[in-house]
Structure 1
Amino acid sequence: MPHAVFTPIGTTALVTGASSGLGAGYAHELARRGADLVLTARRGERLADLAADLAATYGTVCTVIPLDLACPGAVGELVSDLGTRRITVGTLVNNAGFGTYGTVLDSDPEREAEQVALNVQALTALTHALLPGLIHTAQTTPGSAALVNLASTASFQPVPQMAVYAATKAYVRSYTEALWYETRATGLKVTAICPGPVSTEFFAVAGRTTSSFRGMLTVDDVMRTSFAALDRASTPPHAVSGRRNALLAGLCARLPHRLVITATGRLNRPAG
């Protein structure tokens, strides 16, 4: 299949949740490919350290905007700040998100509402606000613009004990695939990245042990999947990171739905 290398040289990429893990991984790879960066997350000190590292390593111009995108009005504040700075975003990586672990009955409703606000509402609002600039960049500088939304292999089936997280990621994948179709004639590269468990801070935040997971992905694994998808002449609507994960995602579509939910529930139940 013919390949078209994704080259964001001379453009600006915005990465949300950039202070660690996958967000920092995307920032490094985009900087390596020649993009300037806007970095946003809650932890300003970590963003400043990352910006200094990117500047020293790649000569990248970085703009640091500390924000909690789950807060009401935060997306509007971010978009307004970008306008004041006259920054046009050519690539958007919606990486910010978190999960929680436990039954719906035992969950904290405020925490679950924050999860929906960040994983779904902020992603949707930011995408809608920046989409015209992404498309403009794609049309004026072909091969330089992308929209990458972080979904998950949890998007392919309900996940008992992580019901809200899996539901939000199903939304992200569905929403992104629809955008992939709607923008297919613009040259904008649109894809939802679906990793399985990754060795990051995610599970500590979710309150979930990683001892039951075998063969966890690394940040580099997910970066390879992401940029391989972007480098394709026809970027796929979603890309699953890891061969085993891709196989399991495919099986979920073919097996009886009740069986899939039951098996997932058993695999994800608390130890003991």
Structure 2
Amino acid sequence: MKTALVTGASSGIGYAFAQTLAERGYNLVLVARSQDKLEQLANNLQSSHNITTEVIPQDLTATNAAQNLFNIVTSKEMNIDLLINNAGFGDYGVFADSSLDKQLEMIQLNITSLTALTHLFLSPMREKGTGGIINISSIAGFQPLPYMSIYAATKAFVLSFSEAIWAENRDAGITVTCVCPGPTETEFFKVANFPDSAVASAQQNYTSPEAVVKAALEAFDKQQANVVTGGLPNQLIVNIPRFLPRETLVSAVAQQFRPHQ
């Protein structure tokens, strides 16, 4: 049986990945900050799908957290066949007025830990000549996003980075797929401190975490470099900006996302 490691597995898209991969017969390594939620999920999946699960509580915003996680997995002699880099968060507001510590934590989680985990688990995959990595980006990664400037920039990194290593590793038996969801029915907007009006607008275009995971795994099975989930509206969001002057685009997005006084 293959083994998948899922970060941010206690809720949202990570939770849906864990459920779907368990249905596919994967053994699971579940990673998040909340040990109680992970253990409940692990117990449910073990009893329902006859798989083995390993729970590793880890705060990936911490320095060296990725290396610590890799060391734990290695010490338990677990071979990871599929890495799901799902953990991440956003923050809404004017950059100059935002908490610097929170912005740096976002970079640490969304970029630094993702990059470190990719590097650490990719090396043994290359040695075996098989494996896969799914990195979660966002449709926000396709254009600058005023009032979510750091979040969009981190997701642009994930998209660019993932596509590059997809090309580097496709002939080595390893698939790398970057998943770019739009608004998804998770706790993202609550954690990001979005105003109620913006949340209400986003809810009109919500995709379920299960639908995101289904599209992600279909793209991964086809060895695609990336997939934009959520149908035609999100395809328009990521493709129309290519035909607009960048200042026009950013000004329009700023008008849409500007906080109400």
Q: Shorter chain as normaliser: what TM range?
A: over 0.9
Q: Partner residue of 2:88? A: 97
1:72 aligns with 2:63: yes
Whether 1:238 and 2:226 are equivalent positions in the alignment is: yes
Provide, for residues 216-248 of structure 1, a one-character-per-residue CA deviation record: whole Å limited to 9, x for no partner: 11112201210110221xx22110002210122
Which deviates further from its counterpart, 63-72 or 257-266? 257-266
Aligned length: 256
Show structure 1 runs of 5+ residues with no match: 1-9, 140-144
Distance in 1 between the 2:103 and 2:21 partners? 31
> What amino acid is aligned across from residue 71 of structure 1 in structure 2?
A
State, as a whole percentage, how many aligned pairs show the same letter.
Answer: 39
Paired AA for residue 169 in structure 2: T
Give the superposition deviation at 1:138. Answer: 4.9
Q: Secondary structure at the match of 2:96?
A: coil
**Structure-2 residue corresponding to 1:211:** 200
Match of 1:196 in 2: 182
Q: Whole-Å Cα distance in 1 between the matches of residues 17 and 72 of structure 2? A: 22
Aligned match of 2:248 in 233, 239, 259? 259
Alpha-carbon distance in structure 1 between the residues aligned to 2:180 and 2:75: 34
Separation in structure 2 between the aligned mates of residue 133 and residue 58 of structure 1, nearest angstrom: 27
Contact 1:92 1:147 in 2 (8 A): yes
| Normalised TM-score (structure 2) | 0.95
Q: CA deviation at 1:258?
A: 1.3
Please provide the CA RMSD for this pair: 1.2
1:174 Cα deviation after fit:
0.4
Query: Normalization by structure 1: what TM-score?
Result: 0.91
Q: Deviations over 1:60-81 (max 9, x none)?
A: 2000000101101211111111
Deviations 1:86-122 (A, max 9, x none): 0111100000000000011110000111000000000
- Distance in 2 (CA, whole Å) between partners of 1:137 and 1:204 is 41
1:107-150 Cα shifts (integer Å, max 9, x gaps):
000011100000000000011000022334553xxxxx320000
Runs of at least 5 residues in structure 2 that lack an aligned partner in the other structure:
none
Greater per-residue helix proportion:
2
For 2:153, give the aligned amino acid.
A
**What is the DSSP-based 3-state SS (H/G/I as helix, E as strand, rest coil) of the residue aligned with 1:197?**
coil
Off by >3 Å, runs of 4+ in structure 1: 135-139
CA distance in 1, matches of 2:26, 2:124: 15
Q: 1:178 offset after TM fit, Å?
A: 0.4
